[in-house]
Amino acid sequence: MDAKIQRRAGLRLALAANARGTQDAIKDESSCYREILKAAVADVGLDTTVAKVLESDPEWASQMLQHIPDLGDHREALLQKAATSPSSALNALRFVPDLGSHRESLVLAAGRDAAPLGNISALHLKDSGGFDCQFTMYWTHAGETQPKNAYPDSGKWVWSDTLLLGQSQTMACRNFALADAPLEPGDEVWI
């Protein structure tokens, strides 16, 4: 489920429960599952939060298992809910400790994404190997990943010069901004 859709669904539940701390956490776009779920538990209690999570997106169950300690008797139901979606099952396999008897059902739910691709027995790097490359930058502005949200065609993005073996280039973050893909102080950036 899309993050914005999840936030709207969570906000509807928080409004119905008059859970003000949860509402604030959801409205704060820098809040992640951890903060939102902790706020929900603080506002309405563990039992009510789990009940709503079990009625919602399986990803919520997976995230709750990952971020909320001491789930007690609720852990089993949350693991079962996480196993109803390939992506939430895979998330549980990756990040939730002690899956117990649910491990196999999560592996089956995750499908081939959970299958090992084999072992790496050795890695050899050729002496004096290298590559030519270019780099660009991504950033999150107002909840949207830029520049790919505003410009799906990567040919319209700002790229570095082609760098040959041993070369480097420094570019200011502001140089990557585009007319329809603004970059402002506080935006998260990565390359």
**Domain co-membership, 84 together with 140:** no
Q: How many domains does the chain have?
A: 2
| Percentage of the chain lying above the pLDDT 90 cut | 48
| Domain boundary, last residue among 85, 114, 143 | 114
Q: Note whether 134 and 110 are same-domain residues.
A: no
Nearest to 14 by CA among 24, 29, 2: 24
- Same structural domain, 98 and 169: no
Q: Model confidence over 153-183: pLDDT tens digits?
A: 888 999 888 877 667 778 888 888 899 998 8
Q: Which residues contact 52 (CB under 8 A, 6 or more apart)?
A: 13, 17, 40
**Any domain includes 46:** yes
The beta-carbon contacts of 179-182 under 8 Å, at least 24 apart in sequence, are 180/150, 180/151, 181/141, 181/146, 181/147, 181/149, 181/150, 181/151, 182/141, 182/146
Give the domain-ending residue among 89, 114, 139: 114
- Is 121 within the bounds of a domain? no
Q: Are residues 83 and 17 in the same domain?
A: yes
Q: Which range among 23-27, 32-36, 98-102, 115-119 shows the weakest confidence by mean pLDDT? A: 115-119
Give, as one character, the DSSP assignment of residue 144. E
- Rounded Cα distance, 40 and 26, in Å: 10
Mean pLDDT value of segment 46-72: 95
Q: Are residues 105 and 143 in the same domain?
A: no
Contact between residue 129 and residue 159 where contact means Cβ atoms under 8 Å apart: no
**Does residue 84 sit in the same domain as residue 145?**
no
- Report pTM: 0.60
Pair (100, 143) in one structural domain: no
User: Which of 114, 145, 160 represents a domain boundary (last residue)?
Assistant: 114
> Do 173 and 79 sit in the same domain of this protein?
no
Residue closest to 73 by CA, chosen among 91, 46, 37, 42: 46
Range of the domain at 172: 130-191
Residues 139 and 88 in one domain: no
**Plot region of 96 (φ>0 → left; ψ -120 to 50 → alpha; else → beta):** beta
Q: Is 163 helix (H, G, I), strand (E, B) or coil?
A: strand
Residue type, 60: W
Q: Is residue 37 predicted with pLDDT exceeding 50?
A: yes
Distance CA 108, CA 80 (A): 12
Segment 69-78 mean pLDDT: 94
DSSP secondary structure code for residue 176 in this structure: G
The single-letter DSSP state of residue 58 is H
User: 50 and 102, same structural domain?
Assistant: yes
On whether residue 32 sits in a domain, the answer given is yes
Distance between CA atoms of residues 154 and 165, nearest Å: 24
